[in-house]
Amino acid sequence: MFWNPRIECMPYDELRELQYRELKTLVNNLYSFNRFYHDRMREAGVSPLDINSLDDVSKLPFMYKQDLRDNYPDRMFTVPRNEVVRYHVSSGTSGKPTLVGYTRGDLEYWTEALARSFTSCGVGPGDVVQVSYGYGLFTGGLGAHYGAEKVGATVLPASTGNTQRQLEMMQDLGVTVIACTPSYLVHLGTAARKMGIDWKRDMKLRKALLGAEPWSESMRNRLQDTMGIRCYDLYGTSEQAGPMFTECECQRGAHVCGDIMLVEILDRDTGEAVEPGNEGEMVVTMLKKEAMPMIRYRMRDLTTLDVDPCECGRTSPRIGRITGRTDDMLIIRGINVFPSQIEYTLMRVPQVGDQWMIYVTREDDLDRMKVQVEIRPEAFSDKVEDMNALRARIEAELKRHLNVAVEVELKAPGELPRFDGKTKRVLDTRVM
C-alpha cells in the first residue's frame, strides 16, 4: 500500500532532479528576500549562481541549533506573522528555548509525510491509534495525531501520564496502534503486568510507533517478543516539523520523503559526505518549508543513509537507526562512548530488565562510569555469589563493546526511577 506512489516509487535519478529544482528555487528565494540567509551565504562566498547541481548543496553554509536560539523568537521566520498558523516550542536542555512556526502549507506537507509513513507501516482505516506523546508545545502529540487522522484511523489523544487509565483505554477501545516513546511502552508493559493484564491475551495492540528517544535493535526484538506486536522507528524533530518518517513494514530504516527533505550524511570530523551506508552526522535541508526554512541544518544525530530501493517497492532513501548524537557522546578517559551502545549491550543479556542508569563522575582526575542495572524478577537471586557472577559478566560484556571499564551495580526489580515522558538515563556530574 502506498499513499503517494508517484513520489515514493520515483526512480532515484528523477528524485534527485526534483530535489535539485526545489533546492535551486529555495536558495534563490532566500538569497533574494531573507536577511539571515542572504548574509550567511555572502559570508560563505556563495550565491544562487553557484548552485548548478544537487551536489552543489555542499557549497552552502551550515545552520546550527544556536542560530535558532540567537534569533529567538521569530527572527528567522520568512513569512509575515499573519501567515503563521501554529507555533511549537522546544525547551532544549540548555539556554533559551527555540520556536518553530508553521504556515498552512507547512502543516499540510508535515501531515502528508506522516500519511505516507503510516501507510508504509500498515496503519490505516480501521486502526485505533492511541497517541501517548505529549500534546502541547512539543511536536510529538499533535504531529502523530493529524497523521493518523489523515490516513483514516480513529485517534485517541491520550497524551502522557496516568498510565493506569492509558491501559484501561487500550483495552476498552481495542487500541491497535500506539505512538509513544520506547521507554513509555516498556513502562506500560511493566504496569500492565502489575494490573494482572496478560498483554498478548487482553490487548488488541498490533503495532507501536516509537520515537523521540534513541533505542536499539535489541530493544525492538525484546518488545516485539514480549508483547507480540511490531515496533517501528518514528523519526523527526521540531526543526524538520516534528515526527515525520517511520520505517516501512520491512523495518530496515525510515523512508524519507525526498521531495520534502534532502538528507546528507557527513563525516563528523571533516564535514565531507560519506559513501551511502557509512555512518555520519545527518544534515538536512527542508525543501518545502515556508515559515522557517532550514538549509543544511546540523541535526547532531549519527546515522546512515541507504539509497538502494527497498523490498517494499519504495525507492525513497532510508535513514538508519540513530546510533547516537554527536553532542550526547560521552568521552570517558579519551574514549567515545554512546549511551545507545550501552543499551545495546545490556539488552542482549537475558537477565537484565528494562531500566538502567549511567553515572559519570571524575575522581582524582580520572573518569569513572557506573551503570545501575535492574534485574528481571525471575533472574533476581538472594545468593550473593550468583549476583556477583552476573555482575562480572555484564561488566565484561560492556568492557568488550566499549573498550572502557564500567562498574556495574545490580538493582532489584522496581528499584530504579520510572519516567512517563522522556527518559534521562545519563547523569554526567564531571566538572569540565
Cα distance between residue 393 and residue 396, in whole Å: 5
Instruction: Figure out which of the listed residues 314, 371, 408, 421 binds Zn ion, where binding follows CB under 5 A.
Output: 314
Q: Does 250 bind Zn ion (CB under 5 A)?
A: yes
For 63, which DSSP code? B
Nearer to Zn ion, 223 or 319 (CB): 319
Cα distance between residue 99 and residue 402, in whole Å: 37
Strands 128-131 and 86-90, how do they pair?
A: unpaired
Nearer to Zn ion, 30 or 263 (CB): 263
Nearer to Zn ion, 256 or 266 (CB): 256
Residue labelled with grid coordinates 526489580 = 413
The answer to whether the beta carbons of residues 251 and 224 sit under 8 Å apart is no
Residue labelled with grid coordinates 536542555 = 93
Strands 177-180 and 207-211, how do they pair?
A: parallel
Residue 318: CB minimum distance to Zn ion, A: 7
Residue 313: CB minimum distance to Zn ion, A: 7
Taking CA atoms, 218 is separated from 211, 343, 348, 350, in Å, by 15, 8, 6, 11
Residue 3: CB minimum distance to Zn ion, A: 13
Residue 42: CB minimum distance to Zn ion, A: 41
Site string for Zn ion, 129-148 (x = CB under 5 A): --------------------
Helices 339-347 and 217-227 cross at an angle (nearest 10°) of 40
Stretch that binds Zn ion, among 92-100, 141-149, 312-320, 325-333 (CB under 5 A): 312-320
Cα distance between residue 290 and residue 92, in whole Å: 23
Stretch that binds Zn ion, among 75-83, 161-169, 179-187, 305-313 (CB under 5 A): 305-313
Stretch that binds Zn ion, among 89-97, 213-221, 303-311, 364-372 (CB under 5 A): 303-311
Interface of this chain with Zn ion, residues 37 to 66, rule: CB under 5 A: none
Residue 16: CB minimum distance to Zn ion, A: 19
Stretch that binds Zn ion, among 172-180, 249-257, 326-334, 384-392 (CB under 5 A): 249-257
Stretch that binds Zn ion, among 186-194, 212-220, 247-255, 380-388 (CB under 5 A): 247-255
Q: Does 312 bind Zn ion (CB under 5 A)?
A: yes
300: left (phi over 0), alpha (psi -120 to 50) or beta: left
Q: Give the three-class secondary structure for 301.
A: strand
Q: Does 379 bind Zn ion (CB under 5 A)?
A: no
Q: Does 310 bind Zn ion (CB under 5 A)?
A: yes
Cα distance between residue 232 and residue 252, in whole Å: 9
Q: Does 248 bind Zn ion (CB under 5 A)?
A: yes
Nearer to Zn ion, 296 or 314 (CB): 314
Stretch that binds Zn ion, among 3-11, 35-43, 278-286, 302-310 (CB under 5 A): 302-310
Residue labelled with grid coordinates 550501552 = 342
The answer to whether the beta carbons of residues 410 and 387 sit under 8 Å apart is yes
Using CB under 5 A, list all residues that contact Zn ion. 248, 250, 310, 312, 314
